[in-house]
Amino acid sequence: MPSLNSNRKYDFIRGRFILPLAVIFGILLFILTYLGIQKSRSDNLQLLRRQGAALLESLTLSADNAIKANTFFDLLVQEKFSDLAGFLETRPNLEFSAPELADFASGYGVDAILIFDNEMNLKASGARSVFVNINSIYGYIIPAMKSLLADTVNQTSFQFVEGNVPGDVRLYFLTRTSDQKYVIVIASDALFYSQAKENIGIGFLVQNIAREVGVEYIMFQTMEGIIFSSRKIGPVLKIEKDPFLQAALAADSVVWREYESEGAPILELAKRFSSVEYSEGIFRLGIPLDKYYEIVAGYNRQMIFLSFLIFAALLLAALYLSGKQKRIYLDQSYRQMKSLSEKVFESINAGIIAVGCDGRVEMVNRQFLNIFEAVENDVVGRQWSALKFHSIISLDKVLSGEKKAGEDEETLRIPAGSKHLLINTGRIHDEKGDLTGAVAVIYDYTHIRELEESARRRERLTELGDLAAGVAHEIRNPLNAISIAAQRLLGEFEPKENIDEFNAFAGQIKTEAGRLNDIVNRFLSMARDRGKASQDINISDVLDDTIKLVDLGIQRDDIKIVADIQPEVFASVSEDRFKQLVINLVRNAVQACEKMGGEVIIGFKEESESLILSVKDTGPGIPENIRNKIFTPYFTTRDKGTGLGLSIVHQIVEEFGGRIEVFSPEDGGAEFRVKIPK
């Protein structure tokens, strides 16, 4: 029990710490959530920077490739026109007619071919269509031709686009002949050229990238200013006035910063860039952070909400476990107290019964059921007034107030005799003082009464034995003389007259002397036979022989003895005393059947701890008012009885350490049941 109580105490202590531990865990959870949010924000921003840096690296690489592609495309166009000019130069003195030049123009897919001398005089010209105006072409190429003729050392050809009217925008190629005497001018429609240049140009690349979601702007800035931008932006600082741009221009890798542009948060990444087409500058990529902040804020809200949910779930679980621990502790304590109460309730050596205000039986203990020889299911839940023994215990009167609580002595009549009961009744009240029921405590003191009666009986038997020993000694001597004289009279003397009368008187003297001797022997047996040595005997055989002996003495045919004896049962008892026990019990049963005849049924069997001898008759039975007197010496209901037979039986049973019970149903008959311990 101490170990169990200590375990429950430790369980209860552990239950008390569940809630504080849950709170501490919740605080740690919120701290970890905050750190997780910060780490997630940092990681997401770093990921965004890495993606922006990768995009910027791709942009600079694509820009460099676009510039190279533009240069290569210009070289291809120039090579095509140079091939045409070289072919024309093979004609001596470049003598071509207008139709011939028109055919060449049509064959090479150009609009017109013009040939000038060093004085810029038109020597020949031809156009593939009448819609091509030679004069308008002449007006566009004069400035370029002057520049070409003026530089006789470095420049041998020149290429440009001119015109601003749709359909009148052309690409012009000017080249001097190898002998420096002529200038060949080739005019071509610039639509395809312009579209091709636009599609592979860096501006087209920047515009396409800038259209992607998540890009605020892309620009290329040099010391001179903004070269191109994906959209129109407000004033920006020059490179020499912006430390960030200066750092970007000096760095080999991508650099970044966060700032606000027009009230919106921007992540800007910058990388140095230079090419043959542009001077050294910086590519700047702007990524808007408002969506990023919205996503981060949403994620933060989700994390905080999830943390609250986890904490709430944990708190509820902690409260549940704490409550469960307390419930378990209380339940265990209740069970322990209930078990202890039930054990005490059941082990009390007194009957207890409680009824509610409505008179319904609420509880009884085992001793109560034993006293009244009842079954719990037949008592609990039933109205007290409907039970057969309700008249013995006045619980209904105690409830109604007709009778005051207190002690009473009652006698309970049962088939085996009577039970003497001491009954203590009381009323039950709740904490408010309201009546809730009544209780009765019943103590069976029958055994005490039996012990008192047995003590008185032994005392009387002892006194009787001592008296009988003295009286019998004094009576036996003259009794023997009377018996011998009566026997001699019958055997030796023969009167001459009144012989029959003489024999009747002498026989009666002898018979009565024998009966008187038998009475003396019974008296003497109370003192002389007590404490005879026990020996291990076949008690079944002794019982069988004794029954046969008694059966021989029965002079009536309407009284029969029926025996059911278990064979080969051995016990260590006094054989003579056991015979006396059986003879007196059987003789008492036979005497009970003398008026109406009947049967004497004798049973004997061996149980685990005792021997059971039963002698039952079918006589009129034993009245209830004398059952407690039948073992008293000299008590008899027969006219010629001595009242010693059953008292001797009781004395022998006590000598054997056994117990004798008497059963006498209302419809007649009686049964004496003797239990002798092995």
Convert the pLDDT of each residue in 329-356 to its tens digit: 778 877 777 677 667 767 777 888 888 8
Greatest mean pLDDT among 319-333, 366-380, 606-620 lies in: 606-620
Does 165 score more than 60 pLDDT? Answer: no
pLDDT, residue 427, reads 86
Strand 559-565 with 598-606, pairing:
parallel
What value does the mean pLDDT take over residues 226-238? 80
Domains and their CATH numbers in the chain: 91-197 (3.30.450.190), 349-443 (3.30.450.20), 445-528 (1.10.287), 531-677 (3.30.565.10)
Of 522, 536, 548, 560, the C-alpha closest to 644 is 522
Does 304 score more than 70 pLDDT? Answer: yes
Residue 21 burial (CB count, 10 A)? 13
The whole-angstrom separation of Cα 264 and Cα 246 is 23
pLDDT, residue 615, reads 95
β partners of residue 560? 599
What value does the mean pLDDT take over residues 98-125? 88
pLDDT, residue 613, reads 95
What value does the mean pLDDT take over residues 84-110? 88
Q: Rounded to 5 degrees, what angle do the CA atoms 224, 227, 232 make? A: 120
The whole-angstrom separation of Cα 467 and Cα 457 is 15
Does 365 score more than 80 pLDDT? Answer: yes
Confidence of residue 9 (pLDDT cuts 50, 70, 90): very low
pLDDT, residue 672, reads 94
Q: What SS3 class is residue 560?
A: strand
Distance of CA 494 to the CA centre of its chain: 109
What value does the mean pLDDT take over residues 170-191? 85
CA distances from residue 559 to 178, 183, 405, 517 in whole angstroms, order as listed: 174, 174, 54, 27
The whole-angstrom separation of Cα 1 and Cα 213 is 76
Confidence of residue 670 (pLDDT cuts 50, 70, 90): very high
Beta strands in 275-338 (DSSP E): 281-288
pLDDT, residue 19, reads 65
Confidence of residue 140 (pLDDT cuts 50, 70, 90): confident
Distance of CA 129 to the CA centre of its chain: 98
Can you say whether the dihedral through the CA atoms of 371, 375, 381, 382 is positive or negative? negative
Chain segment 454-495, per-residue pLDDT in tens = 667 666 666 666 666 666 666 766 777 777 777 777 777 777
pLDDT, residue 566, reads 92
What value does the mean pLDDT take over residues 170-183? 86
CA distances from residue 578 to 41, 464, 583, 630, 649 in whole angstroms, order as listed: 106, 21, 9, 20, 9
- Comparison of pLDDT for 222 and 532, the residue scoring more: 222
Confidence of residue 2 (pLDDT cuts 50, 70, 90): very low
CA distances from residue 521 to 38, 471, 518, 586 in whole angstroms, order as listed: 117, 11, 5, 19
- Comparison of pLDDT for 257 and 190, the residue scoring more: 257
Distance of CA 416 to the CA centre of its chain: 55
What value does the mean pLDDT take over residues 606-620? 92
Mean pLDDT, the chain, whole residue set: 80
- Comparison of pLDDT for 90 and 152, the residue scoring more: 90
Dihedral of CA atoms 90, 91, 92, 96 in degrees, nearest 10, equals -150
What value does the mean pLDDT take over residues 46-57? 83
Residue 67: which residues within 8 A CB-CB, separation 6 or more?
Answer: 202, 275, 276, 277, 278
Answer whether 612's CB lies under 8 Å from 564's CB. Answer: no
Greatest mean pLDDT among 27-31, 72-76, 180-184, 206-210 lies in: 180-184
pLDDT, residue 527, reads 52
β partners of residue 281? 222, 273
Chain segment 241-298, per-residue pLDDT in tens = 999 999 998 898 889 898 888 788 888 889 898 877 778 889 888 888 888 888 888 8
Instruction: Report the side by side order of strands in the sheet with 351-356.
Output: 361-364, 351-356, 435-444, 417-429, 407-414
What value does the mean pLDDT take over residues 641-655? 84
* Of 101-110, 528-537, 625-634, minimum mean pLDDT range: 528-537
What value does the mean pLDDT take over residues 631-646? 78
Confidence of residue 189 (pLDDT cuts 50, 70, 90): confident
* Per-residue DSSP letter, 530: T
pLDDT, residue 611, reads 93
Does 6 score more than 50 pLDDT? Answer: no
pLDDT, residue 270, reads 92
Cα Rg, the chain, nearest whole Å: 70
The whole-angstrom separation of Cα 436 and Cα 361 is 12
Confidence of residue 528 (pLDDT cuts 50, 70, 90): low
pLDDT, residue 567, reads 92
Answer whether 661's CB lies under 8 Å from 416's CB. Answer: yes
Q: What percent of the chain clears pLDDT 90, i.e. is strictly above it?
A: 8
Answer whether 158's CB lies under 8 Å from 81's CB. Answer: no
pLDDT, residue 468, reads 62
Tokens of 337: 């107290």
The whole-angstrom separation of Cα 485 and Cα 480 is 8
Does 3 score more than 50 pLDDT? Answer: no
Does 648 score more than 80 pLDDT? Answer: yes
Residue whose structure tokens are 């892309």: 218
* Of 210-224, 355-369, 585-599, minimum mean pLDDT range: 210-224
